[in-house]
Amino acid sequence: MTAATVPPHALPWGEVWGQDEALRQLQAAASDPAQLAHAWLITGPAGSGRSTLAYAFAAALIAEPGDEAAMRQVRAGTHPDLTALRTEGVIISIKDARALVERSYFSPSLGRYRVMVMEDADRMVERTSNVLLKALEEPPERTVWILCAPSEADLLPTIRSRVRTLRLREPDVDDVARLIVTRTGVDEATAEQAARLSQRHIGMAVRLATDEAARQRRDETLRAVLAVRGVGGAVETAARIVQLATDDAKALTAERDEAEREALLRTLGIAPGAAVPPAVRSQLSALEDDQKRRATRSLRDGIDRVLTDLESMFRDVLMLQFGRTGELINRELGAELSALAAAWEAPRTLTVIDAIATTRTNLEGNAAPALALESMLVTVASGRIL
């Protein structure tokens, strides 16, 4: 995003970065009803800024031009004309989708439009998608839907045919590195490494740049996979990956879980450390159930991130096998990857990459993480899919 397009702190677009063309389209739609579709699908890889752009667009639609207070309410998720669904589970439940659809038929109370934002729309199963489809077929006049997903292919064709798709571009490593320096103040070398290792995922790049333990866990995981030599090593490394992902998930969710519990008890008038009366235990149990679902998703997201890192590593091996030495993601492992590229043939590397993709699919189908990883790592060690 250039300074000429949007001033650095202009509301509501100030946090949108690196998506000039998408920004122009949404700004035009927000200011001209003739260009405004009733439903939008914002697609792009993880970390490309889908949600940031969705909420900026929502703020521009709801608030009158210049009403910065209303825009801040939308960005904070507290405006009455914004309804957002951020799933904490592995999938979006049909119950949550129905509640979202019901609210879409309410008229705007304060703003120009009622806006429905569905993050992670790709996490809908078919019957949940069909609930949403009915709302998209007959939308109220002043309701706008904004869906976010990695790609159009992640949604049913019937959904895709009823939305206007906006595809986000992938930023360059250098662009992400400059952003990381600006946001975090880390040195340029650390920012470049984080941008490269995260494969331009902005959120992950920030974390790698500012969290040395996260960088160490990533390096440890990749080196452990490179060291796998047989079934025993595959089983041990799979367990280690699951444990690292579990620890990472706990680190991300523990503080939030405790804050939510304390807030609920405070709302119910229960003093810190006091016994929880039987009459309100069901509410506490419901919160704990939600937190368990969030922990499950966080763990699966963490393992998926490991698989993404492994794909990048074996992609590097393949690039070396084809003589493309200047395009490595994992430069820090250059010597190890060069040795592997010399020891293997390219078809074996492709077999391993296919196995990683299959593992990702199996995990999406609720396979046991340890067993799925063990199978994949046996393929790494043997070069054969079992």
Q: What is the pLDDT of residues 288-325, one digit of tens each?
A: 777 777 777 778 888 888 999 999 999 999 999 999 88
47 in the same domain as 160: yes
Provide the token pair at 6.
């949007």
In a domain, 220, yes or no: no
In a domain, 216, yes or no: no
In a domain, 226, yes or no: no
Q: pLDDT tens digits for 323-339?
A: 988 889 999 999 999 99
34 in the same domain as 145: yes
60 in the same domain as 153: yes
Number of other CB atoms surrounding residue 93 within 10 Å:
16
Distance CA 184, CA 39 (A): 35
Size of the chain, expressed as the number of residues it contains: 386
Domain carrying residue 236: 231-382
Q: pLDDT tens digits for 228-283?
A: 988 999 999 999 988 888 877 777 676 677 777 777 777 778 877 777 788 777 88
State the Cα angle at 250 between 246 and 251, rounded to 5°.
Answer: 115
Q: What is the DSSP string of 106-124?
A: SPPSSSS-EEEEETTGGG-
Distance CA 89, CA 385 (A): 31
145 in the same domain as 235: no
Quote the pLDDT of residue 5.
Answer: 39
254 in the same domain as 340: yes
Q: What is the CATH number of the domain that holds 32?
A: 3.40.50.300
Distance CA 378, CA 375 (A): 5
Provide the token pair at 214.
């996260």
State the Cα angle at 104 between 99 and 298, rounded to 5°.
Answer: 50
Better-scored residue on pLDDT, 6 or 69: 69
Mean pLDDT within 26-30: 93
Distance between terminal CA atoms of the chain? 47
What is the DSSP secondary structure assignment for residue 306, as one 8-state letter? Answer: H
177 in the same domain as 121: no
Give this prediction's pTM. Answer: 0.69
Better-scored residue on pLDDT, 249 or 155: 155
Q: Which residues of 62-89 are buried (b: 16+ CB within 10 A; e: fewer)?
A: bbeeebeebbebbbeeebebbbbbebbe
In a domain, 14, yes or no: no
163 in the same domain as 204: no
**Positions of E strands within the chain:** 39-43, 82-85, 114-118, 143-149, 164-167
In a domain, 4, yes or no: no
Report whether 344 contacts 321 (CB < 8 A): yes
Interaxial angle between packed helices 231-267 and 369-382, expressed in degrees from 0 to 180 and rounded to the nearest 10? 150
Quote the pLDDT of residue 6.
Answer: 42
Q: How many structural domains comprise the chain? A: 3
133 in the same domain as 78: yes
In a domain, 117, yes or no: yes
- Separation in Å, CA 124 to CA 44, 93, 164, 291: 17, 7, 19, 20
67 in the same domain as 147: yes
Phi, psi of 40 (to 5 degrees): -125, 145
Better-scored residue on pLDDT, 66 or 353: 353
Report whether 74 contacts 82 (CB < 8 A): yes
116 in the same domain as 53: yes
Give the pLDDT band (50/70/90) at residue 11. Answer: low
129 in the same domain as 103: yes
- Separation in Å, CA 291 to CA 249, 275, 282, 287, 385: 12, 21, 14, 6, 36
In a domain, 45, yes or no: yes
185 in the same domain as 154: no
Provide the token pair at 253.
């969710």
Distance CA 282, CA 300 (A): 27
Residue 164 has pLDDT above 80, yes or no: yes
